[in-house]
Structure formats: C-alpha cells, structure tokens
C-alpha cells in the first residue's frame, strides 16, 4: 500500500466514525460532510456488527438523515448481522414516518430476519398499533410465522398488548394457531398476562388445547400461581374464565357428536336402498333362468323393473370398477343396482363383496361416533366432582377449609391427576405455610406469656418484700 493509499484509508475511517456520530446525533450537516469526505457503507457496517448508518438513523428517528444516506447510496434493504433491515428497526421503534418513507423507497414489507421475524412481528411485540395498522393496509401478512412458529397474535399476547391482540382477532387471526411446540396464544398469555387470557377465553379460544408436551392451559395457570400471584382477584377471575371455557368446549363437542348421530339416524333412505328388493328379485330370476318378476297392478311407476338382462357389458364392468375405486358406499350401491343385469358375474361379485365391507365400515364408524358422544357425556359427568374439588382448593381460605378441600381432592386425584395434582401440590404448600405461621404465632404467644408470668412473679416478690419491711418498721426491737 502506498503512502497516499494509507492516508486515504485513514481519512475514510475517520469519516466513517464521524458519519456514525452525526447520524446518532441527528446532525444533517455533519452527516453530509462525512459522506462528502468519503464515508462508505461497507466500513461503517463492519465496525458496528453489520448495522449501517441507515439502521442508526431509522433507530433514532432521523428521517432527514435517512433520506440523505439513501441518496448517497446506502440501500434500504441492507441487513445487519442478525438480518434486520432498516424497516425492521423503524417498526421496532414505532417510527411510522420513517417506515412509510422506507416503503416508498422500496423496502420489503415481509422481509424476515435470521429468526424469521417480519416488521409486523416487531410492531406487535412492542404494541405500536398505528404502525401495525399501516403495515396491514399495505398487505403485510397476519399469518406469517417466525422460525419458532409464532404468529403476530402470539407476539401481541406474550408481550401483553391487549388492544393489538383484539385488533388482530377482528381481522381474522386464528385464536388456536399453534407454534412449533404446540402452544396457542392462550398458552403464552397464561404465562404472565391474565387480562389477555380472560379475553381469549371470552372470545372462544380453546381452553382444552394441549402443547406437544401435554401441558394444558390450567397447568400453565397453576405454574403462574406457584411463581407468586400479585393480584389474587385477577388470578381467580382468570381461573373461572378458563374453567368456563373448558366446560363450554366439552358441551359443544358433545352437542356436535349428538347432532351428527341424529342426522345419520334421521336421514331418509336413498334411491339405491329402495332398489335393493328389485335387485334381489332380478338376481333370483336370472339364477333360475326365468323372466324377471312383473310389476304388480298396485305398484307405482318408480317400481317398474327393467327388461330381461342383456349379455354382460364391458361398459357396465368399467362403471362398477370406477365405483369400487371411489370407495363411496352410496355411489357403489347405485352402480350395482344399475349395472346388475349387464355386468359380468365376477365383477358384480367383487363389487357386492366390497359393498358389504363398506357397509360394515360405516356401521363401525357410526358405533364409534356413538361411543365418542357417550364418552364425552360420561367424561363431563365424571369430571364434575373433580372440577368442584379444584374450585374448592382455589377458594379455600383458612386451614380448616384447606384441609377439607385437600381431603376431597385426594379421593379423586387417582382418576383426575392431570386436573388436580398441581393444585394439590400448591394446596399442601399453602397448608405448610399456614402451619408454620401458626407455629410462629404459638411460639410468640408462649414467649409473651412467659414474660408476663416472670413480671408477675417479680411483682409478687416485690410486694412481699414491701410487706416484710412494713412489718419491721411497725415492730422495732
């Protein structure tokens, strides 16, 4: 490197440092001078973990400086080492004017950083409602997820921004969408934001959903309680809301199963089932080599039998095979009835065997549906005492009430351990705390009583001494 090159490089490095300082301070003239002196995007970014001067201008909200840098060749979609674009930074800080200018300069709305976060994710994390609305009007995706599977609603609920969560819900964001670990928005809200958990239950979030590790909403709430609850009333209201949502979900599933059963049982017979008797009669006549039974005088036009069976047809066999491949029972029945007189015996026999298999499968499915409906009803009935026991544990005040609630829960915990175990552990911890408190009060009371007794004995001795002195004075030698 020549002396001139070294001097030029040193001057450029100094200009880079001055540019960063000017950008952070919002000094437009100093920034213009540094650019004129040869500050480059590459060297400035290398010195600050890949974050360029344009990132700093957007972070601090200096729109005029950002516009100067863009005109000097700093690109709006350049990323730092974490993958943040300038639009990510502007949305994270809530600078709507800069975000709008960046978009007009070509910034991508759905660009993702190395963690998969979009600019909308950042606005929902920070609760910048006005920026989130603007991004939505331009078509930013509400359903986009980061590398952990978290959508915008997850981010809003986890960070406690109720107004943003409500707005996302009105736009159709799914309440029960799950991340890579199976967590819904209700799961993440229960970790620390009880007001959002109550709202999610009120608008229909599934309170019975489990994570991939089998953790329920109720268990997450109980862990919240174990860490210490600052607002007992809010915690109790949230527990009530979750219990009500669980009961509502169980009832809805039972009603849906019952409605499906009733619809199956009440469905009118199909045309294929009406032709069953006619098909049997034709098959019997063909087997005996005689004509098909004639229509009775009292029969209706829909009971007219077809003419004597023609020779087997390849088209009829093909129709039967298509119906068999579809595995649709009703379609297969109709095709068999229609093609019974024209199809070959081998194909017809195969189709009838498949029909019986499909009938058996359908019957099993109906039985399973009935069993599930009955199981849901029985489960709700059996679970009622456990839920009452859980509520008693949560509501118990005082040692006597807590002991009674624990005894009632112990009788049910073997069958409902998932529902009751964590609450019982917390209950026993509360009982131990009460016992320690009572023991401390007893020791304090005993100590007070001992002091009082000691003082009383001292007074008695003093009084006795005074009496003895008075007697001595009254009776001198």
Residue 278: how many CB atoms within 10 A of its CB?
18
Residue 335 has pLDDT above 50, yes or no: yes
Contacts of 29 (CB under 8 A, 6+ apart): none
More confident residue, 259 or 367: 367
CA distance 224 to 235: 9
Least confident of 228-237, 244-253, 290-299: 290-299
Q: Is residue 477 classed as helix, strand or coil in its secondary structure? A: coil
141: Cα separation from own chain's centroid: 19
Instruction: Provide the pLDDT confidence category of residue 272 given band limits of 50, 70 and 90.
Output: very low
Residue 9 has pLDDT above 60, yes or no: no
- pLDDT the model gives residue 201: 94
Per-residue model confidence as pLDDT tens digits over 185-227: 999 998 889 999 999 999 999 988 899 998 888 888 877 666 6
What per-residue string of b and e applies to 124-136 under the rule 16 or more CB within 10 Å gives b?
bbbbbbebbebbb
Look up residue 219 and give its two tokens: 């268990």
Mean pLDDT, range 249-259, rounded to an integer: 65
Look up residue 199 and give its two tokens: 């709202």
Degrees, nearest 5: CA angle 110-113-119: 40
User: What is the DSSP secondary structure assignment for residue 171, as one 8-state letter?
Assistant: T
CA distance 230 to 224: 10
What sign does the dihedral 365-368-369-370 (CA atoms) show?
positive
200: Cα separation from own chain's centroid: 10
Q: Using an 8 Å Cβ cutoff, are 52 and 20 in contact?
A: no
More confident residue, 31 or 181: 181
- pLDDT the model gives residue 275: 52
Q: Using an 8 Å Cβ cutoff, are 309 and 341 in contact?
A: yes
CA distance 57 to 68: 10
Per-residue model confidence as pLDDT tens digits over 235-253: 888 888 888 888 787 677 6
Nearest alpha carbon to residue 320 among 304, 336, 306: 336
% residues pLDDT > 90 (the chain):
30
Look up residue 207 and give its two tokens: 């309170």
Residue 265 has pLDDT above 60, yes or no: no
142: Cα separation from own chain's centroid: 15
Residue 83 has pLDDT above 70, yes or no: yes
- State residue 285 phi and psi, 5-degree precision: -65, -40
Q: Is residue 324 classed as helix, strand or coil in its secondary structure? A: helix
Instruction: Provide the pLDDT confidence category of residue 230 given band limits of 50, 70 and 90.
Output: low
List of domains in the chain:
149-247 (1.25.40.20)
Nearest alpha carbon to residue 222 among 204, 242, 198: 242
Q: Is residue 179 classed as helix, strand or coil in its secondary structure? A: coil
Degrees, nearest 5: CA angle 420-421-424: 85
Residue 462 has pLDDT above 90, yes or no: no
Nearest alpha carbon to residue 205 among 169, 259, 158: 169
CA distance 474 to 421: 79
CA distance 73 to 278: 85
CA distance 366 to 373: 11
- State residue 245 phi and psi, 5-degree precision: -65, -40
- pLDDT the model gives residue 418: 64
CA distance 372 to 473: 102
CA distance 13 to 7: 10
Locus of tokens 């620390």: 192
Contacts of 220 (CB under 8 A, 6+ apart): 187, 190, 191
Look up residue 416 and give its two tokens: 């409902």
- pLDDT the model gives residue 160: 94
Look up residue 353 and give its two tokens: 């065997």
């Amino acid at each position: 490197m020549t002396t001139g090159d070294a001097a030029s490089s040193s001057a450029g490095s100094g200009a880079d440092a001055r540019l960063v300082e000017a950008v952070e301070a919002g000094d437009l003239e100093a920034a213009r001078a540094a650019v004129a002196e040869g500050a480059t995007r590459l060297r400035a970014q290398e010195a600050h973990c890949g974050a360029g001067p344009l990132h700093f201008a957007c972070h601090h909200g200096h729109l005029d400086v950002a516009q100067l840098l863009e005109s000097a060749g700093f690109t709006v979609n350049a990323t730092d080492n974490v993958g943040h674009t300038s639009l990510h930074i502007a949305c994270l800080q809530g600078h709507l004017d800069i975000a709008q200018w960046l978009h007009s300069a070509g910034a991508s709305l759905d660009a993702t950083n190395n963690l998969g976060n979009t600019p909308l994710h950042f606005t929902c994390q920070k609760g910048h409602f006005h920026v989130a609305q603007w991004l939505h009007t331009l078509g930013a995706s509400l359903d986009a997820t980061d590398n952990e599977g978290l959508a915008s609603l997850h981010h809003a609920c986890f960070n406690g921004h109720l107004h943003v969560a409500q707005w996302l819900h009105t736009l159709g964001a799914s309440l029960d969408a799950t991340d890579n670990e199976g967590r819904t928005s209700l799961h993440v809200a229960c970790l620390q934001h009880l007001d959002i958990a109550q709202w999610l239950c009120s608008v229909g979030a599934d309170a019975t959903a489990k994570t991939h590790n089998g953790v329920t909403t109720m268990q997450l709430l109980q862990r919240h309680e174990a860490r210490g609850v600052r607002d007992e009333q809010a915690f109790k209201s949230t527990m009530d809301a979750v219990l009500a949502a669980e009961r509502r979900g169980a009832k809805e599933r039972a009603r849906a199963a019952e409605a499906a059963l009733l619809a199956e049982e009440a469905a009118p017979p199909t045309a294929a089932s009406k032709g069953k008797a006619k098909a049997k009669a034709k098959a019997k006549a063909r087997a005996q080599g005689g004509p098909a039974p004639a229509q009775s005088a009292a029969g209706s036009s829909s009971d007219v039998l077809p003419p004597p069976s023609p020779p087997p047809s390849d088209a009829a066999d093909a129709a039967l095979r298509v119906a068999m491949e579809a595995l649709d029972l009703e379609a297969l029945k109709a095709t068999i009835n229609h093609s019974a007189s024209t199809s070959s015996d081998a194909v017809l026999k195969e189709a009838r065997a498949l029909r019986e298999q499909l009938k058996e499968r359908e019957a099993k499915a109906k039985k399973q549906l009935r069993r599930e409906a009955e199981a849901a009803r029985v489960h709700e009935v059996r679970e009622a005492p456990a839920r009452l026991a859980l509520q008693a544990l949560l509501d118990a005040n005082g040692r006597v009430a807590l002991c009674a609630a624990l005894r009632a829960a112990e009788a049910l915990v073997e069958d409902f351990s998932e529902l009751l175990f964590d609450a019982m552990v917390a209950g026993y911890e509360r009982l131990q705390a009460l016992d320690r408190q009572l023991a401390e009060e007893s020791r304090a009371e005993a100590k007070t009583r001992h002091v009082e007794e000691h003082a009383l004995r001292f007074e008695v001795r003093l009084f006795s001494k005074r009496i003895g002195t008075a007697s001595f004075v009254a009776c001198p030698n």
